[in-house]
Amino acid sequence: MESIKVGIINVTGYIGIDLARLLHQHPGVSLVSVTGRSAAGEKLGKVFPHMAGVDLDITAELGNVDVAFSALPHAASAEAVARTLEQDIKVIDISADFRLNDIPTYEEWYKVTHPAPELLGEAIYGLPEINRSEIAKARLIANPGCYPTSAILALAPALSEGLIDPDIIVDSKSGLSGAGRALTMTTHFAETNESTSAYALGGHRHMPEIRQELQKLSEDQEVSITFVPHLVPMTRGMLSSCYAGLRKEISEEEVRALYRDFYRDEPFVQVLDNPPQTKHTLGSNLCLIYPAIHPHTRRLIVISCIDNLVKGGAGQAVQNMNLMLGLPETMGLEQKAIYP
């Protein structure tokens, strides 16, 4: 049987090149086309030496493929996605262009007019643990943001069961790769090494995405999110600490059992008996979750760890592709975390 051909629009960003790494060794597809205008005409292995031996040229335009991943920035990605869908190619969009259901909300947070609002109605939010059946039938997937992935997976069981109050705090720490490859003063080594900083306290673009998806899981409550992201001096990794008041009397053991039952059939979510560390997910597609109850305040605390470039980006995109193509969901994604 002829292999399924896949391509990456804008391979030169961190998630783009991590997609290339994962897709190159994927047994069910063939990576045949990668684009990147700034590096067009170069060999992929020359621009990224760790991909040496991969015989692919970086081109300006996408070649003949069955599935495309768009790793362009917002707005530019929507334009490319619209053109690609016209060619009867399934698309997984890594940008934020199709994550938010409401156009005014998107335009308020991303400060651009949406380039393809007519596609919002068919885009499926690509969190497999919540939307698996819809993803399998879709031709356009909005791959979730890294912060939303960690927060939504941490809180979905509690909200779905009506266990917590709707006023939720999400405190997240991310490695610097989450800011992308472009050098800025806030991501310069000398500014970030041996330093941790909070940012976007007035509102981060991922906040409305987190709220939108958690609201869908909360039938009788209006969800309110206080979201504070932080940069920490590491390359990869994300840890979210989520806090909410309990609505009912429940033991910590019962909470953990509830979480395990909710995720019992999920290959990439593990509920732990001890708090996870970002090192435990490095390079893997896992989300590690630890729910607990504070003994004095009786608040639910949920710790969630992912690799922001894998489950928070490229790995989740491949997981979505597997579902769209009817392949085993774990195919090409079963590598263990790198430790230490």
CB 17 within 8 A of CB 50: no
What is the rounded CA–CA span in Å between residue 104 and residue 332? Answer: 38
CB 208 within 8 A of CB 152: no
Q: Which of 146, 242, 287, 305 is catalytic?
A: 146
What is the rounded CA–CA span in Å between residue 147 and residue 323? Answer: 22
Distances (CA, A) of 57 to 10, 24, 47: 12, 14, 10
Q: Does residue 146 carry a catalytic annotation?
A: yes
Q: Which residues are catalytic?
A: 146
